[in-house]
Amino acid sequence: MFARICLPALLGAAFLASTSQLMAAAPRGASGEGKAWDPGLRYHSQSAGRRINHARDYVGGFRSYAAEAPKVVPMLGPEHVEEVSRNIVAAKKDLATVKKDANGDKDILTRVAAIEKHLDAATEQQKMMHDCCKEGADGTKTMECCESCMKHLDAAHKEHEALMKKIDPKAGNADKDHDHHQK
């Protein structure tokens, strides 16, 4: 009777103890390099990447429109330009959280700084795109503004891919399948 009641209980307790030790040895968010990252680090980094890609989508859409329009219709531009701005701001907010969660990792902080630099340059170009949305703006000039902004967003995207490889080298870039701008 002792074997029927106590043995399963002892085996269950031993199993739970070994499982908890395994879970403690490999915390969620581990980078594969022995460092345990805050789970929010990966989430906020991926979120920043999605925001960068959304900004790229809006710039690409507006660029396509401007390439075909001899004159830009003022009602279309501001909506796209505002979405570019909104997504850049959101990406920067996520990157601020990544910096906080990086626990002083210099490689991550350097990569985030590079992304922020490209996003700052894209913001300046986004402001120029806003000027291109005025009444009767030339489609070719607007397209050039879009291409310049896209250049900086593409550079931020490339830096972001390197950041994701640093944070989670086994997973790679989870957003890669969703990159509509690959050439």
Q: Are 42 and 168 in contact (CB under 8 A)?
A: yes
Q: How many domains does the chain contain in total?
A: 1
- Encode pLDDT of 72-92 as tens digits: 777 777 888 899 999 999 999
> What's the domain range around 74?
38-165
Q: Give the tokens for residue 151.
A: 């250049």
Q: Is residue 154 part of a domain?
A: yes
- SS3 call for 71: strand
pTM metric for this prediction: 0.74
- Those residues with Cβ within 8 angstroms of residue 37's Cβ, 6 or more apart along the chain or in another chain: 29, 30, 31, 101, 103, 167
User: For residue 3, what pLDDT is reported?
Assistant: 53
DSSP character at residue 138:
B
pLDDT band for 31, please (50, 70, 90 cuts). Answer: very low
pLDDT value at 28 more than 50: no
Distances (CA, A) of 121 to 58, 127, 146: 16, 10, 12
Q: Is residue 71 part of a domain?
A: yes
Handedness of CA 94, 100, 106, 107 (dihedral sign): negative
Q: Is residue 23 part of a domain?
A: no
Q: Is residue 131 part of a domain?
A: yes
Q: Which amino acid is at 150?
A: M
User: For residue 139, what pLDDT is reported?
Assistant: 82
- SS3 call for 156: helix
Q: Is residue 5 part of a domain?
A: no
- Encode pLDDT of 47-67 as tens digits: 999 999 999 999 999 899 888
pLDDT band for 25, please (50, 70, 90 cuts). Answer: very low
Token pair 């399948």 is found at 177
CA distance 55 to 180: 12
Angle between helices 106-132 and 139-167 (to 10 degrees): 170
Q: Is residue 103 part of a domain?
A: yes
Q: Give the tokens for residue 134.
A: 């005025």
- CATH code for position 42: 1.20.120.660
Q: Is residue 182 part of a domain?
A: no
- Encode pLDDT of 152-177 as tens digits: 999 999 999 999 998 887 755 445 54
Q: Are 50 and 157 in contact (CB under 8 A)?
A: no
Closest by CA to 98, choosing from 51, 42, 166, is 42
